[in-house]
Amino acid sequence: MEITYIGHSGFLVETEQALLLFDYYQGEIPPLADTKPLYVFASHRHGDHFNPQVFELAKEHPEICFVFSRDIWRSRVPEEVQDKLASLKPRQQWQDGRLQVTTLKSTDEGVAFLVETEGMTIYHAGDLNDWRWEGEPEGWNRQMQENYRKNLEVLRGRRIDAAFVPLDPRQEKDYCLGMDYFLETACPRKVFPMHCWEDYGIIDRWFAEHPDSPFRDCVVKIGGRGERFMVEAEA
Ligand SMILES: [Zn+2]
């Protein structure tokens, strides 16, 4: 599959048979092969994960399906695409014959997506992360961590071909708590740090601070918008 980084938590994944657009909110969407069906995922309604502009895509791309977290109210979805909407709750499964989607409950709002298609597995965390904040009461931070770890349990030992996971510089010294736990818990082949607020130096920082990590080959260095990456199916 080919992966294009669009910006923030936005990625386009192109497989042999489909196009998967995750959490688009701004930036340039690459040309979309009109022979392939397009799936538009939105993990929750926050402005940096969901932009109603995505509905415009239905005009050029009639074979489209919107896979949204249920916190994006149906009333926000235009009448003409209501029949192309899958509105998912946390911990739900949905499939259409091409894709199988399992949702995880976010520790922020909405869901994370685990998508299986063509023998490959893709994970997009949305805002599911260990949101420890310096200054929050210790009890709050402890509860956060507990919830994060519990919600991720479904990924334990799970082979994931491409994963998109927050690495947020605003968390300062705790920036990699969530990603590190994800790396140890799931079994990902490639992990794309996201939600970096365009501060890609945070990825370099992770490499500098993890000189002996067994996951160094698995974490992808994103340097800017529009970059493309290939992830081949496992032989
Ligand atoms: Zn966010």
pLDDT tens sequence across 118-163: 999 999 999 999 999 999 999 999 999 999 999 999 999 999 999 9
Tell me if 46 sits within 8 A of 127, measured CB to CB. yes
Total structural domains within the chain: 1
d(CA 57, CA 42): 14
CATH of residue 14? 3.60.15.10
Q: Is residue 235 part of a domain?
A: no
Question: What is each CA distance from 90 to 101, 105, 110, 181, 229, in whole angstroms?
Answer: 11, 5, 7, 20, 29
Three-class DSSP labels, 38-83: EEEEECCCCCCCCCHHHHHHHHHCCCEEEEEECCCCHHHCCHHHHH
Tokens linked to 196: 């970096």
Q: Which two tokens stand for residue 93?
A: 């499964």
Cα 126 to ligand 1 centre (Å): 7
User: What percent of the chain stands above pLDDT 70?
Assistant: 100
Asked whether residue 23 is assigned to any structural domain, the reply reads: yes
Which tens digit of pLDDT belongs to each residue from 75-91? 999 999 999 999 999 99
What is the pTM assigned to this prediction? 0.97
**Which pLDDT value is given to residue 234?**
82
- For 91-230, list the strands marked E by DSSP: 93-95, 100-105, 111-117, 120-124, 159-166, 187-194, 228-230
| Residues, Cβ < 5 Å to ion ligand 1 | 48, 127
Residue 10 CA to ligand 1 centre (angstroms):
11
Residue 50: domain span? 2-230
Q: What is the mean pLDDT of residues 158-170?
A: 98
Average pLDDT, the chain: 97
The pLDDT value recorded for residue 5 is 98
Tell whether 74 is covered by a domain.
yes
Q: What is the DSSP letter of 233?
A: P
Q: Is residue 105 part of a domain?
A: yes
CA of 45 to the centre of ligand 1 (A): 9
| Predicted pLDDT at 35 | 94
Instruction: Give residue 20's pLDDT band: very low, low, confident or very high (50, 70, 90).
Output: very high
Within a domain: 93:
yes
Please give the Cα distance from 23 to 6 (Å, whole number). Answer: 10
pLDDT (tens digit per residue) in 178-225: 999 999 999 999 999 999 999 999 999 999 999 999 999 999 999 999
Tokens found for residue 10:
């936005």
Q: How far is the CA of 27 from the centre of ligand 1 (A)?
A: 15
